[in-house]
Amino acid sequence: MGCKLTPQRRLIVEVLLSAGEGALTADEIYQQVRQTYPEIGLDTIYRNLRLMARLNVVSEVKLTGRTAQYSLNRELHNHSLVCLECGAEIPLAHCPIKELEAVALEQHGFIISAHRIELFGYCPACAPGADNKIPT
């Protein structure tokens, strides 16, 4: 499944690229895109972000009681720790899925083309009882 890279979609990707490793809300993306396309609507931003998430171009992180945040998938194979308090996303270098990929192929004939693992918990600054708790 593919889609046309419209000027609006290209700009959304550029905004996410400028965020570096950070994540942005749809409203933050909207405010930046409006500087170039003042006529664009927030619904268009959400529609494009949903499409990009389905295509695995962006990651969407929804924390309970918080607005979803989006970040650019820089590769199809990534793993991260996501803090439930501050939303920090910490990339993991080790891939625990390699053995499962072999089992999936050998036992089921299934070829895994991509995967993503998100483990949710609390970063050291936000862990319950942490002395260096970051105010929210």
Known binding-site residues for Fe cation equal 77, 115
Binding residues: 77, 83, 86, 115, 123, 126
101-119: burial string, b at 16+ Cβ within 10 Å, e else: eeeeeeeeeeeeeeeeeee
Binding residues for Zn(2+): 83, 86, 123, 126
CB atoms within 10 A of CB 27: 12
Distances (CA, A) of 11 to 16, 35, 77, 99, 101: 9, 10, 24, 38, 35
Task: Give dist(CA 9, CA 15) in Å, integer.
Answer: 10
- Sign, CA dihedral 66-85-121-101, equals positive
